[in-house]
A and B are shown apart, each in its own frame.
Chain A
Amino acid sequence: MSTKGTRIPDWLTVPFAGITPAPSQEKGQDLFPTGNWRSIRPVYRDKLPPCNNACGTNEKIQGYLDLVKRGKYLDAYALIKEDMPFPSVTGRVCYHPCEQACNRGQYDEAISIRAVERFLGDLGQALAHDVVKAGKPNGKKVAVVGSGPAGHSAAYQLARLGYKVTILEKSPKAGGLNRGGIPDWVLPADVLDREIERLVELGITIKTNVEVGKDVSWDDLKNNYDACVLAVGLTEPNSVRAEGENKDGVLYGLPFLRDIGMGTSKVKLGARVVVIGGGNTAIDCAREALRQGAAEVTMITVEANPKEMPAVPEDLHDMLEEGVELFHGRAVTAVLGNGKVEALQLHPARFSGAINASPITVDREAPAERFACDNVIIAVGQHPSLAWLPQEFKNERGTIKIDRFGRLGGTNFFAAGDIVQLGSGQPLMVVNAVGDGKRVAFNLDKVLRGEPLQPRTIPIDVIVDLNRMNMTYFPHFPRVQQTLLPPTSRRKTQDEVILSLSEEQAVEEASRCFSCGTCNACDNCYLVCPEPCIARPARSNGLYKILVDYCKGCRVCIEECPTGCLEGVPELDFDTGVVRMDTAFAISPGLHGRQAVELKNLGDRPAKNI
């Protein structure tokens, strides 16, 4: 109804039914602050995505996938480098716990997070200068013993914090398990070399051929450095305690891979090779054995079937494609042969407990089997070599005794990586060692600065329930598959088996991310709000704002938020957002009271004035 030409009495000039102007964002919202219609307030609250929670070093996976999706590769690389010193390495070797946790796995297929990480890592390798710079020098010296994943990570974070870091490595080349435990066809040596160069560019000194306990003593470390990180790893292979295990032709998994990785291998394998063990190292050994010239490789495991093997299913699949045979439910009881291994004596066996680390029960009553072979590679785990460590810092598992901050007693020594994680229930993998190194570096920094140590905060709100997101916004999309070299051509060469994603593929894969529980500035709330109640100066996480004076609490934005980062919180939980109104329409106090006065006085007025 138009008010044109109508004389409005002054007590009616405020908005009133019938003569109210149309609400607009400029003026109408001031006239109709409908915020008090609301009993539920929408609140932007980012939750932890499950990938981030599952990652050993808590990479901000949702964050960098979002940046890749927008084409901001360098920003994505910088974000990944906050937690991970070598995305090009983990992009190749990681057993991706993030992908197992990915919510998309319940919907169609998990995001190929590792492939995108590798794309970013390779981008970083191509840069002339790394995006990460060393921190302002604080004059303190820290020694890091071991240059494997944990040591690398700790040294990297400490250099960023401004410490003068020296890495002590006993091998002729730095890299630790990354070099000695991972074959070239998974992680090419030049990729790792480039990452080691990056450490040197940060001002880190790497001393190779220095072994703690032999060239450097515990007291040297204590006296020459302000603090020390022990990331020595597990160096000694476990034996299977079979008769005649010392015969020629019996090899151990990690030394076998290490010698090949360091280029010092003198091993010549025979035609028939047996690998003992069912884990990831055993798989790497079996595949490496093919590349070292073996014609037939058989893997003998105590596990009764492939599903029970503590190995990554993809790697197991690739190994079987390359032609490795599996032989389950057997344990080696003796190595037969005259000076050199000629055959193995096998007995049926099983694990006595539910987990693969439990003791093995061997059925010695059953008839022994003979398995002919030319070489045996035993890959049944490793244990540490800690003769140099003072006895007080050893625990009953034979590893280093630490408190929950990775610290050895009250000393300035810290320990990280496999050396502390063995037997702790955590799977031993590169990314867990990297995360351990990172956390220990930050704890060390706090100790040297005299700040109190705080335990890791446990994420309380990990979004793992798809019902908390609006799945109608996510069409089904297949996962982008990384190309593999064909099994027949790859099984005899050291060429990398898995090929990297192209730029288009990486963007396509990153676009599949749900962004679980985290605002990715999709603008959906801004568009669906029936009133213009959501303001944002720019499309970015953190810049969206609910105009609480006007929001009626209709919940449309909450229901329609694809990622589930918008939550409805009872209005009474907030002290703020109070909009005092007389009625839904009148905003000036006493409007209807004044009307009542007019009505009361009607009788006193002369008739012609009414």
Chain B
Amino acid sequence: MSYTELTVWTRGIIMDKEGRDIVNSISASARIEGKYAQAMENYVDNPDRTNAPTRKYCRVSDSILENELTYENEHPNIVVLVEGTMVKGWDYMRGMPAGGTLVINTHYTPDYMIRFVPGAERLAQLVCVDAAHLADHKWLYYRLGELGLDRLSTEGAAERNKSIAPDIAAPLIAAVVKSTGIVKMETIEPMISNKRAFHAALEALHIMPLNPVAV
């Protein structure tokens, strides 16, 4: 019986949709594959504030989800940090069982990033992918300094919401799927709008193997 929890940590408003795309597309793919799956946001975090930490959750199971009313992932097997600086900010490793995966959007290597990870001994792998660069994201990649000034992010949101993962979410989804196999690549690939970044990430991601769990 397999049961996997995925928690995405993202930043309010400026990267809200990117986080939502990850959990939505993965749970939708899991359902297509005939699994039980669930995706939701954590509104306790009050995501409508620029830069505020926000979580998105996804659960994938072979059997019916017994904890579908619990609004937090207590034992995430996979954690995704949509913005690299978040690695310093939270106890995102809380509750992670041994053999977990951490995916970070950063241009640094896993060797550099591991110093910031609390409880890294629980990780089976640390994955770094320069999603902002692969998706050619002008704010995150070229003008990181102005990130906090972006107050107009909801402009054009209706258009952007029509497509799934047009932006930095695509390389991150690729990193999650390639490193963990939570869903099949061929199920999720047709959903992604930014296919170029998705495929580029499959080649460009850095996986640091750590402590594998004996099955």
Contacts and interface: CB of A to CB of B under 8 A. Distances in A.
B69 interface: yes
A568 B144 CA distance: 10
A589 to B, nearest CB: 6
Contacts of A599: 69-70
A575 interface: yes
A39 B91 contact: no
Interface stretch (B22-30, B51-59, B196-204): B51-59
Interface in B32-86: 42, 44-46, 49, 51-53, 55, 67, 69-72, 74, 83-86
Interface string B121-152: 00000000000000000000000111111000
B3 interface: no
A40 B144 contact: yes
Given A38-B85, A582-B94, A570 B144 contact: yes
A592 B90 contact: no
Interface in A534-580: 552-555, 568, 570-572, 575, 577-580
Contact of A40 (B53, B88, B116, B147): B147
A568 B116 CA distance: 20
Question: Looking at B67, B83, B91, which has the most chain A CB atoms within 10 Å of its CB?
Answer: B91
A578 to B, nearest CB: 5
Given A37-B52, A39-B85, A580 B147 contact: no
A581 B91 contact: yes
Contact of B44 (A39, A572, A578, A585): A585
B115 A36 contact: no
A571 B85 contact: yes
B44 A589 contact: no
Interface string A26-53: 0000000001111110000000000000
Contact of A572 (B49, B88, B148, B149): B88
A600 B72 CA distance: 12
A610 interface: no
Contacts of A581: 53, 89-91
A267 interface: no
A578 B88 contact: yes
B212 interface: no
B83 A593 contact: no
Contact of B89 (A555, A579, A600): A579
A40 to B, nearest CB: 6
B95 interface: yes
A584 B52 contact: yes
Contacts of A36: 53, 85-86, 88-90
B108 A39 contact: no
A590 B46 contact: no
Contact of A584 (B53, B74, B115, B116): B53
A17 interface: yes
Contacts of B74: 593, 596
SS class, residues of chain A in contact with chain B: loop
B91 A596 contact: no
Contacts of B95: 593
A378 to B, nearest CB: 60
Question: Looking at A553, A581, A584, A599, which has the most chain B CB atoms within 10 Å of its CB?
Answer: A584
A39 B83 contact: yes
B51 A37 contact: yes
A583 interface: yes
Nearest to A38: B85
A500 B44 CA distance: 68
A17 B44 contact: yes
Interface in B73-120: 74, 83-91, 94-95, 106, 108, 115-116, 118
Contacts of B87: 572
Given A553-B51, A583-B45, A589-B94, A572 B145 contact: no
Interface in A403-432: none
Contacts of A40: 144-145, 147-148
A568 B145 CA distance: 7
A590 B89 CA distance: 16
Given A39-B83, A584-B53, A596-B70, A555 B90 contact: no
Contacts of A39: 51, 83-85, 144, 147-148
Nearest to B72: A592
Interface string B154-174: 000000000000000000000
Given A583-B44, A584-B46, A554 B148 contact: yes
Contact of B148 (A553, A579, A592, A595): A553
Nearest to B118: A580
B88 to A, nearest CB: 5
Interface string A505-545: 00000000000000000000000000000000000000000
A17 to B, nearest CB: 7
Contacts of B72: 592-593, 595-596
Report, nearest first, the 4 A-B pairs whose CB atoms are least far apart.
A36-B89, A39-B85, A37-B51, A571-B85
21 contacts: A17-B46, A35-B89, A37-B52, A37-B89, A38-B148, A39-B84, A40-B147, A40-B148, A552-B148, A554-B148, A572-B84, A580-B91, A581-B89, A582-B94, A583-B44, A583-B53, A583-B55, A584-B46, A593-B72, A595-B72, A596-B74
Given A553-B51, A570-B144, A571-B85, 5 more contacts: A572-B106, A572-B116, A579-B88, A583-B45, A584-B45
